[in-house]
Chains A and B, each alone.
Chain A
Amino acid sequence: GNSVTQMEGPVTLSEEAFLTINCTYTATGYPSLFWYVQYPGEGLQLLLKATKADDKGSNKGFEATYRKETTSFHLEKGSVQVSDSAVYFCALVPGGGGYQKVTFGTGTKLQVIP
């Protein structure tokens, strides 16, 4: 079946530090890959997505590149801010149709300290 594995958290960084959250996936075919963010007390927001190999998704300074050869979709940001403190979920939707369920990773909590 499909699965997503994320690095365990929590991750604690100082403001302006470089962020990497690792994500690898298992899926047949060519899934679409997503990062969702959940701020404290709020719902899930789509942060970025990539739909095919070598695509780079980007938003709000965050980036992730779809690497089929390593089945990875690592999230990066060059300089984090306190406002980036949240839980980040890597997720996939199987290929072959965009209306299938989302499979989520366990989430990685990021805490940015001033």
Chain B
Amino acid sequence: EPEVTQTPSHQVTQMGQEVILRCVPISNHLYFYWYRQILGQKVEFLVSFYNNEISEKSEIFDDQFSVERPDGSNFTLKIRSTKLEDSAMYFCASIKGELAGINEQFFGPGTRLTVL
């Protein structure tokens, strides 16, 4: 069964460093998302991406964040200068984007980011 994959599973970085979290969505999916979950808290939406541009972003997704689909398979989240409060589990998700019916979002296993 096709699945969303994410790398790395755990990333440790120093405050102020740049990190890139990588995701490979399911191959025929068209809509891509990043969410984050600070330890013990709810899962929060960060950004959605369609047709090579951001379709929606939350207040959390400030200028320090960017997303890119550099090729036909990868979808990346970059944090330019990490802060301690960026420590969280980051989930990538994708959906097929059919016009009819409900599109289930398929989530990856997550990348745990620890900022020291």
Contacts and interface: CB of A to CB of B under 8 A. Distances in A.
B103 interface: yes
A99 B42 contact: no
Size class of the contact patch on chain B: 20 to 34
B104 interface: yes
A43 B104 contact: no
Contacts of B48: 99-101
B43 A44 contact: yes
Size class of the contact patch on chain A: 20 to 34
Given A43-B110, A44-B91, A102 B42 contact: no
Contacts of A25: none
A101 B45 contact: yes
B39 to A, nearest CB: 12
A45 interface: yes
B116 to A, nearest CB: 21
Interface string B94-116: 01011001111111111000000
Given A99-B50, A99-B95, A104-B43, A44 B103 contact: no
23 contacts: A32-B102, A42-B109, A43-B91, A43-B108, A44-B91, A44-B110, A46-B105, A46-B106, A49-B102, A51-B101, A93-B105, A99-B30, A99-B50, A99-B103, A101-B45, A101-B48, A101-B56, A102-B35, A102-B45, A102-B93, A102-B105, A103-B45, A104-B42
Interface of B: 30-31, 33, 35, 41-45, 48, 50, 56, 91, 93, 95, 97-98, 101-110
